[in-house]
Amino acid sequence: MAEDVLCPFCGCLCDDIKVEVENDQIVGVKRACKLGSSKIRGHERTKAPMVRKDEELVETSYEEAYDRAAKILKDAKRPLLYGWCSTVCETHKKGILLAEEVGGVIDSTATVCHGPSIIGIEEKGLAGSTLGQIKNRADLIVFWGANPAEAHPRHTLRYSSNSTGMFTPDGRKGRKVIVVDVRETRTAKNADKFLLIKPGTDYEVISALRMIVAGKGEIVPEKVAGVAKSDLEEAAEMMKAARFGAILFGLGMTHSRGRYKNVDNALSLVADLNGFTKFVVMAMRGHYNVAGFGQVCAWETGFPMSVDFSRGAPYFNPGETAACDLLAKREADAMMVVAADPVSNFPRATVEGMAEIPVIQIDPFPNPTTLLADVVIPSAVCGVEAEGTAYRMDGLSLRMKKVVDSPYPTDEAIIQNILDRVRRLGDDN
Ligand code: SF4
């Protein structure tokens, strides 16, 4: 039995998982939620490397797959290296080296999830905390545009509303929960106060709350975004009365109208509330190591995502250098996808852009992106078949364990092999 295994699925990065192993096979998973258990137990794998020949993907050797991948990246004028959030930081470091070597653009899945949150945080600053602080101290939790009951199933029990901690021994009974969302989610059903807002009105609602918190409630109309002023006043009072409050926001806030400005405004609300009590704010990150890519990319390049190396030095300008920008404008002429599935998540116009260029996929599992790929390189599952470092949604770095051996190379080794070949091709020219 492997103890204290980290779950390689969502940003909670639960570190208390037990995995039963017999004859180097996983036969049982304890404590993980269904999402995590399914990832750890594994499902259909890509059995061998493949390259596209005569419109068909055919099995090949790793050596040929590395050669083809290196040539595609080396020949491209504007290669895009995308994904990275379901693999470990050691892979990120190699990926950034590879992007620099080929003068490409490197971007992560944050670009289509909490990227606007990061920009909002860069503009405003963050009154942050660890999940441990929230578990041990928070007596008010606000889930805004977030539904952990479905997306982060153990979050409430381990870290937030339903957890018990040093100064929160009564768990859920000792805490108040506010949910702000555009529909009554499972998380909302368990809230003490639910604010059902109209879609795309987060900015207005945050602004109204800020006015009430600041004592300027007389300028707030009787109804804001479908919410009665009295409900907003009640929520504002709950926030001010908390000993330690936390706003945990999800894509519902980040991807509604206003985007990073919503986050910017929410961070200002938290700053305002710190005039009355202790309040913190955190993004509910999705993939287990999306926070890790932001960290590695920031310390290597100065920027957290969407970094363009074509000028010889890192350049960052989302709207110009994000993955979807390059694909929609047909700038990218080759793409490498690592531990991600953009075909399932990107807008249609960008997927059409992917279909027009050579695509390299590195992933343990087949997914819709495989259908477009010209080179497919299967890898070991990080956190199950390979160890490495990952960052939890609160920015805490944790070491992921290897539980069983794998016949597949690690993502890190695959990127290193491609990088070596790219460099050799450069020497030959
Ligand atoms: S909550 Fe997230 S990290 Fe924890 S077991 Fe479930 S999927 Fe894994």
Say which CATH number the domain at 151 has.
3.40.228.10
Q: Pocket of ligand 1, candidates 5, 6, 35: which has the most ligand atoms within 8 Å of its Cβ, to mutate?
A: 35
Mean pLDDT, to the nearest integer, of 67-76?
Answer: 98
Distance 16 CA to ligand 1 centre (A): 10
Residues 295 and 422 grouped into a single domain: yes
Distance 48 CA to ligand 1 centre (A): 28
Q: Does 352 fall in a domain?
A: yes
The pLDDT of residue 117 is: 78
Residues 312 and 269 grouped into a single domain: no
Atom of ligand 1 nearest to the CA of 153: 1
Residues 349 and 389 grouped into a single domain: yes
Distance 9 CA to ligand 1 centre (A): 6
Mean pLDDT, to the nearest integer, of 185-200?
Answer: 96
Q: Does 11 fall in a domain?
A: no
The rounded distance, in Å, linking the Cα atoms of 88 and 109 is: 14
Q: How many domains does the chain have?
A: 2
| pLDDT for 429 beyond 70 | no
Residue nearest to atom 4 of ligand 1 (CA): 14
The pLDDT of residue 274 is: 97
Mean pLDDT, to the nearest integer, of 106-121?
Answer: 84
The pLDDT of residue 123 is: 80
Domain termination residue (choose one: 238, 268, 283)? 283
The rounded distance, in Å, linking the Cα atoms of 299 and 296 is: 5
Residue nearest to atom 5 of ligand 1 (CA): 32
Q: Does 8 fall in a domain?
A: no
Residue nearest to atom 2 of ligand 1 (CA): 10
Distance 180 CA to ligand 1 centre (A): 23
Mean pLDDT, to the nearest integer, of 182-208?
Answer: 96
| pLDDT for 428 beyond 90 | no
Quickly state the pLDDT bin for 339 (edges 50, 70, 90).
Answer: very high
Residues 127 and 197 grouped into a single domain: yes
Atom of ligand 1 nearest to the CA of 32: 5
The pLDDT of residue 319 is: 87
Residues 193 and 232 grouped into a single domain: yes
Look at 123-132, 206-215, 287-296, 375-384 and tell me which has the smallest mean pLDDT.
123-132
Residues 66 and 151 grouped into a single domain: no
Q: Does 69 fall in a domain?
A: yes
- Residue 267 domain boundaries: 115-283
Quickly state the pLDDT bin for 114 (edges 50, 70, 90).
Answer: confident
The rounded distance, in Å, linking the Cα atoms of 423 and 162 is: 52
Distance 286 CA to ligand 1 centre (A): 10
The CA R_g of the chain, rounded to the nearest whole Å, is 23
Measure CA 352 to chain center: 24
Residues 336 and 407 grouped into a single domain: yes
Distance 207 CA to ligand 1 centre (A): 33
Q: For a pLDDT cut of 70, what percent of the chain falls above it?
A: 100
156 and 189 Cβ atoms separated by less than 8 Å: no
Residues 257 and 317 grouped into a single domain: no
Q: Pocket of ligand 1, candidates 9, 13, 39, 157: which has the most ligand atoms within 8 Å of its Cβ, to mutate?
A: 9
Report pLDDT digits (tens) over 29-38.
999 999 999 9
Q: Does 257 fall in a domain?
A: yes
Which tokens in the block code for residue 322? 């994000």
Which tokens in the block code for residue 251? 């894509």
Q: Pocket of ligand 1, candidates 4, 13, 14, 38: which has the most ligand atoms within 8 Å of its Cβ, to mutate?
A: 14
Residues 324 and 402 grouped into a single domain: yes
Provide the b/e sequence for 31-46 (b: ≥16 CB within 10 Å): ebbebbbebbeeeebb
Distance 425 CA to ligand 1 centre (A): 42
Q: What is the CATH number of the domain that holds 95?
A: 3.40.50.740
Q: Does 34 fall in a domain?
A: no
Residues 337 and 277 grouped into a single domain: no
Domain termination residue (choose one: 283, 307, 340)? 283
Residues 207 and 269 grouped into a single domain: yes
Q: Does 60 fall in a domain?
A: yes
Q: For a pLDDT cut of 90, what percent of the chain falls above it?
A: 90
| pLDDT for 264 beyond 80 | yes
Distance 18 CA to ligand 1 centre (A): 13
Give the chain's mean pLDDT: 95
| pLDDT for 115 beyond 80 | no
Distance 85 CA to ligand 1 centre (A): 15
Of 426 and 25, the one with more pLDDT: 25
The rounded distance, in Å, linking the Cα atoms of 359 and 147 is: 33
Q: Does 15 fall in a domain?
A: no
Q: How many CA atoms lie within 13 A of 251 on its CB side?
A: 13
Residues 216 and 242 grouped into a single domain: yes
Residue nearest to atom 1 of ligand 1 (CA): 154
Domain termination residue (choose one: 262, 283, 304)? 283
CA angle 102, 349, 95 (to 5 degrees): 25
Report pLDDT digits (tens) over 139-184.
999 999 999 999 999 999 999 999 999 999 999 999 999 999 999 9
Q: Is the pTM of this model over 0.85?
A: yes
* Ligand 1 pocket by Cβ (under 6 Å): 7, 9-10, 12-14, 32-33, 35-36, 152-154
